[in-house]
Amino acid sequence: MREYIPNRFDEGYGLNNDALTALANDGVRLVITVDCGVRSPDEARHARDLGLDLIISDHHEPSGGLPDALAVLNPKQDGDEYPEKYLAGVGIAYKIAEALLLDDGPLTVNRPQLNDYLDLVALGTVADLAPLTGENRVLVRKGLEQMRQTSRQGLFSLANVSGTDIRKANATTIGFTLGPRLNASGRLDSALASYHLLTTTDVKEAGDLSIKLNQQNIERQKLTKEIQTQAEALAMEGQADAFLLFAVSPEFNHGVVGLAASRLTETYYRPAIVGHFGEETTRCSCRSIPEFHITKALDECADLLVRHGGHAAAAGFTVRNENLSALVDRLRSIAKRELDGCDLRASMSADVEVPLSQLTFSLIEQLERLQPTGYGNPEPVFISRKVKVQGARAVGADGKHLKLSLTDGRFTFDAIGFRLGDLLPNLPPMVDVLYTFEVNEYNGRKSLQLNLKDIKAAGVPD
């Protein structure tokens, strides 16, 4: 058995004929895909011509007929009766392993124990932004329990390098600490470094790889910021009122264009497409908003595309350069058709209004029962009104975060507002705040903290 992860810089994403040919020449006879292939009919035919048995496991939206493979495992395909339609790619891979080990025979010493892999299932499910509902929520909950006591040297080393206590891991740990570092290798170079980290049992190798991934993540953050700035300038040039933002450049790195698109969508609440303009083709990543299904929009442009695929909120495509202008015109026309008349502003809502006096450690214990929270299952959001800003300062690189001390006269709490630092110059003395409630641990001391989502002057209508 051998692993193969396509290099996005040389091969793009997913199945490709050159990789299948190379595998066949190396004597491989069975290929099982993970998280790709359901929109690859040409590659499936090529595999059959090579004599390869191809099993496709994927969770992306199918388009038209299925590839002619030995088997296609995708709960979203027509007629599939599996009740959980939103498993991540790693979840479907886990289901394959579960089926292979499902027999009535006696357990053997060398037989894998599926529970030992639930930490990886949790890691992949959260990092891939699969909704934390239904079976996903169960898998992630059990996977986090496994992760907190993991014997996987790579996870242990990566957590240490990033300053995280793996014994307290939660979905946020994956989404903001472990996941970005594991993804960084594939965004800048080859994703095999992350694979080796997760499979090694050697302490030194795990340490070296963790340091490498941590450094790559720092480089990725810098590169993302640079491309975001350039993409924003390109997208807004003469298109400030556009329903869809579009920016491509030969200077953009393949690995981070999706992150830049995400930031544009967050900033302007519009579907955004950012890509690398190559010699013959342009490869793009797309991010969207709930009002616009980006993959269905690309389906309407299939005649102009080399390949495409994705979900409602995220997708990718390759287009020949001679078709690029026509594609942009058609996508903008579709966006206008779907979004014209919509109130294109991000909305936020609170689950309940509470006074500061009700924010206690006892409430934290109750909120813990709702974990894991994340995409599709957000943590509870609170609002407190007419609180006084007792202290305020900008923190973090470039002062982009906001640190506050808030009080109602009797109870005082620290509050942190990530990416809200620009609010500091015009911050009113009395505010209404929207936030999630959490424990902040520093130097072994635990304190209660408000994680701010929005702030406005007290008394101003919502």
Each residue's pLDDT tens digit, 46-57: 999 999 999 999
Q: Lowest mean pLDDT of 111-125, 147-161, 420-434, name the range.
A: 111-125
**Encoded tokens for 294:** 């980006």
Domain of residue 290 covers: 238-339
Q: Is residue 226 part of a domain?
A: no
- Residue 62 shares a structural domain with residue 133: yes
Is the pLDDT at 86 greater than 70? The verdict is: yes
Cα–Cα distances (Å) from 125 to 82, 84, 169, 227, 296, in that order, read: 18, 13, 15, 27, 23
Give the residue from 284, 308, 339 where a domain finishes. Answer: 339
- Residue 148 shares a structural domain with residue 291: no
- Residue 29 shares a structural domain with residue 155: yes
Question: What is the per-residue pLDDT for 239?
Answer: 75
18-44: average pLDDT? 95
Residue 249 forms beta bridges with which residues?
276
- Residue 150 shares a structural domain with residue 59: yes
CATH code for position 258: 3.10.310.30
Question: What is the per-residue pLDDT for 105?
Answer: 54
Identify the band that residue 61 occupies on the pLDDT scale cut at 50, 70 and 90: confident
CATH code for position 53: 3.90.1640.30
Computed over every residue of the chain, the mean pLDDT equals 93
Q: Is residue 28 part of a domain?
A: yes
- Residue 383 shares a structural domain with residue 318: no
- Residue 189 shares a structural domain with residue 73: yes
Q: Give the SS3 label for residue 199.
A: helix
Identify the band that residue 363 occupies on the pLDDT scale cut at 50, 70 and 90: very high
CATH code for position 452: 2.40.50.460
- Residue 330 shares a structural domain with residue 385: no
Rounded to 5 degrees, φ, ψ at 203 are: -65, -45
- Residue 187 shares a structural domain with residue 264: no
194-218: average pLDDT? 96
Q: Is residue 138 part of a domain?
A: yes
Residue whose C-alpha is closest to residue 308's, from 326, 291, 336, 327: 327
Is the pLDDT at 217 greater than 60? The verdict is: yes
- Residue 23 shares a structural domain with residue 137: yes
pTM (global) more than 0.75: yes
pLDDT tens, residue by residue, 135-161: 999 999 999 999 999 889 999 999 999
For the chain, how many structural domains are there in total? Answer: 3
56-77: average pLDDT? 93
Q: Give the SS3 label for residue 238.
A: coil
Rounded to 5 degrees, φ, ψ at 272 are: -135, 140
> In this structure, what is the dihedral angle of CA atoms 78, 79, 83, 84, given to the nearest 10 degrees?
-20
Question: What is the per-residue pLDDT for 348?
Answer: 87
Identify the band that residue 106 occupies on the pLDDT scale cut at 50, 70 and 90: low
Is the pLDDT at 103 greater than 70? The verdict is: no
Please state, in angstroms and rounded to a whole number, the distance separating the CA atoms of residues 129 and 146: 20
Helical (H) or strand (E) element with 367: helix 361-368
